[in-house]
Structure 1
Amino acid sequence: MSKRLFFVISVLLLNFLFVVSAFAMSNEEFFKICENGNIKQIKAAIAKGADVNAKDKDGLTTLDYVRANKNSDIIKELMKADAK
């Protein structure tokens, strides 16, 4: 009985991990959304768990990208999400 329970729990856990990883957003995707400046997409990405403090290959953060575009609404949104 305990082997069967262990098996069922393992399968459920693996399914959960697969679902979570399938819906995760890559940092590159989030950077593109920030560059495009669509606040609705940015809010949705943050709600889905996008890393607001991710850095690109040059060490720039999403906040750096948005500051370059001078979009104060998006800057505020990222700062609400604790972007640095």
Structure 2
Amino acid sequence: MLGPYARYLVYRGESTRAAAARAQALGEQTVERTVRITKRELDAFRRYQRAVGGLAESDYIYETVSEVAVDAGVVQAD
């Protein structure tokens, strides 16, 4: 996962690898993040609340399983 500056560079048209290397040269850390996504069932009342806009709760739970710093030379495109 690229940091904010590297994502900005990609947005501006640089390749993922070049953006990661350029951002890393300025001190930004690139990390590889593994995320577990699970779907949960909301009860009828919570689904109703979400439908009328009174609940921002999602059906999905995002849980970071691991985070590892990687060298910009081996970053793969998202």
TM, length-normalised to structure 1 = 0.25
Instruction: Report which of the two has the higher share of strand.
Output: 2
Instruction: Report which of the two has the higher share of helix.
Output: 1
